[in-house]
Amino acid sequence: MAIAIALVEPQYEVNVGHIARLMKNFGLQKMYLIDPHFNEEEAIRFSTHGKEILASAQLTSITKLRKKFDVIVGTTAIPATSRLNVFRESISPERFAQIVKSSSHEKDFCILLGRESSGLNNEELRKCEIVISIDTKTAYRTMNIAHALAIILYELSKTNQSAMFNRNTKPKQLASREEIALLARYVDKVATVSRYDKHKQPLLNAAFKSILGRSNPTSKEVMLLVSLFRKSMTVMGGGDRLKKI
């Protein structure tokens, strides 16, 4: 299992430097930068012992991260207020730590931190399997990205290796990215064949992805659902394979 940090359009050297330092504090190594706008030499001044992490940071995109990691974890200070806004359906850092714990070393996670000024937009959150929001218990929930990351990493650290994984227990065989992608395609195809409302399909797909991201299904569970959708397509006259997808 790996946990990496990605910053979207970072601007302020102090934030980037402090994030590298936090990563060093909690034992993380991989930093990714998406369209950065900061002075690297200035940021290193704030990174202290995390300067190696900052120096080795890689330029990337969300699309590339989705191919590299099993789960992209978005962050937002503005959780969903409507049941229709599934892109901002969020969980707490504590709940995220439990999801990581249950992954049994079989999934790689990337935590996506948004812009200092405006965070992640709906389109970016749509590409995330999980979204985290920190409830400050006040009307003002927007936090500095480094401070927010500190809370998330602290919650993760509270579940240490010995507590996270029972070495005497055989780990579950979690579903692979390919198996989850296959199931997602069947969901989409069944929705089309059953004439599900087209304007609701993006919401359906997002809800499905979010449920899978939070649940850590096993390979057996996912393939059982695939077999169900295959038979459903046959009954509905849509064939039993994804020939057109």
Domain boundary assignment for the chain: 3-164, 177-235
pLDDT of residue 163: 38
Q: What is the CATH number of domain 3-164?
A: 3.40.1280.10
pLDDT of residue 216: 78
Measured CA to CA, the distance from residue 5 to residue 53 in angstroms comes to 11
pLDDT of residue 128: 93
In terms of Cβ atoms closer than 10 Å to its own Cβ (0-12, 13-18, 19+), residue 49 is exposed
pLDDT of residue 172: 67
Mean pLDDT per 10-residue segment, the chain (245 residues): 94 97 95 97 94 96 95 88 68 93 84 95 92 93 95 90 42 81 88 86 84 83 90 77 52
Instruction: Flag whether the pTM goes above 0.75.
Output: no
pLDDT of residue 82: 61
